[in-house]
């Protein structure tokens, strides 16, 4: 199977502080690969290295077979069109309507008419379970779950081959969280996309992932199938699962 992402010996220091240390993993085409770990363990930093926002201090990150840190700005720009990023907290533009948020890339970068962009936005919104009723709304008029869906619709607007979801279920109630899980699975099935998910939500991680990476203080503790992780004998993984699931049950 094709490797969509390959991370080799990735280390990252920021302001002299070691954030990531010797991370190695690959993500295969069509796979849902989830990164879990405590706050500040480096999950988002890995995704920033994958999209080329941060340059590794050591090691290499290849996306679609290209070393992300040797690309020209033009090449990086073109490669990013194939990567959809669903931001933590959705990061919608408050002053833009839903269709303008979803069609932002096309409004900014193409000569397509507003009518065409609105139609394209509607197609993407339908894929995430929304319809024309939301096109003219502003983000402030949406529920948390709808904002996440709009954020996902924006991320898939350019038909990316890889989607990175940063905390897609954070701040959502359990029922809406499971809907977002189903959406991630259905987008993979409908569009064949490869997904990297950063999550605190263990129920989500174990429901949707093909493989899970557990991080601690910027280091990999374990990578494996959900079953491998659930049956792990590594004390940190056992403790992480115990506290993660107990926290959910106590909500
Ligand atoms: N711009 C930055 N400059 C310096 N340090 C940073 C910067 N951004 C993040 N860090 C540090 O890098 C470490 C990893 O942060 P990161 O956001 O990758 O963790 P995370 O696992 O995604 O956390 P969370 O689950 O809380 O979002 C943290 O200690 C954080 O303080």
Q: Which of 10, 12, 14 best tests ligand 1's pocket when mutated (most atoms within 8 Å of CB)? A: 14
Q: Note whether 99 and 178 are within 8 A (CB).
A: no
Of the candidates 171, 102, 165, the one whose C-alpha atom is nearest the C-alpha of residue 132 is 102
CB distance 89 to ligand 1 below 6 Å: no
In whole angstroms, how far apart are CA 116 and each of 57, 84, 119, 139? Answer: 43, 21, 5, 21
- Is the CB of residue 56 below 6 angstroms from any atom belonging to ligand 1? no
Q: What's the rounded Cα separation, in Å, for the pair 193 and 135?
A: 25
- CATH code of the domain made up of 3-82+160-249: 3.40.50.300
Give residue limits of the domains in the chain: 3-82+160-249, 94-158
Nearest atom in ligand 1 to 200's CA: 25
As for the ipTM of the complex, it is 0.95
Give the pLDDT score at 46: 97
Mean pLDDT of successive 10-residue stretches along the chain, which has 251 residues: 93 95 97 94 95 94 94 88 87 94 93 95 91 95 91 91 92 85 90 92 93 96 96 94 67 41
The predicted pLDDT at position 221 comes to 97
């Amino acid at each position: 199977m094709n490797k969509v992402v390959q991370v080799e010996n990735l280390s990252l220091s920021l302001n002299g502080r070691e954030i990531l240390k010797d991370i190695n993993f690959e993500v295969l085409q069509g796979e849902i690969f989830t990164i879990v770990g405590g706050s500040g363990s480096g999950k988002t930093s890995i995704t920033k290295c994958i999209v080329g926002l941060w340059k590794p201090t050591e090691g290499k990150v290849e996306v679609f077979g290209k070393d992300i840190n040797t690309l020209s700005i033009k090449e990086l720009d073109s490669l990013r069109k194939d990567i959809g990023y669903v931001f933590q907290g959705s990061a919608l533009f408050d002053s833009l309507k839903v269709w303008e948020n979803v069609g932002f890339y096309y409004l900014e970068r193409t000569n397509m008419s507003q009518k065409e962009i609105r139609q394209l936005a509607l197609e993407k919104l339908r894929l995430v379970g929304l319809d024309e009723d939301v096109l003219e709304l502003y983000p402030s008029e949406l529920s948390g779950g709808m904002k996440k869906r709009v954020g996902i619709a924006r991320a898939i607007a350019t038909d990316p081959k890889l989607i990175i979801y940063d905390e897609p279920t954070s701040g959502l109630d359990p029922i809406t969280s499971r809907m977002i899980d189903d959406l991630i699975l259905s987008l993979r099935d409908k569009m064949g996309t490869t997904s990297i998910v950063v999550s605190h939500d263990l129920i989500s991680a174990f429901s949707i992932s093909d493989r899970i990476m557990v991080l601690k203080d910027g280091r990999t503790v374990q990578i494996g199938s959900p079953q491998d992780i659930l049956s792990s004998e590594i004390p940190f993984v056992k403790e992480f699962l115990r506290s993660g699931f107990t926290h959910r049950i106590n909500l």
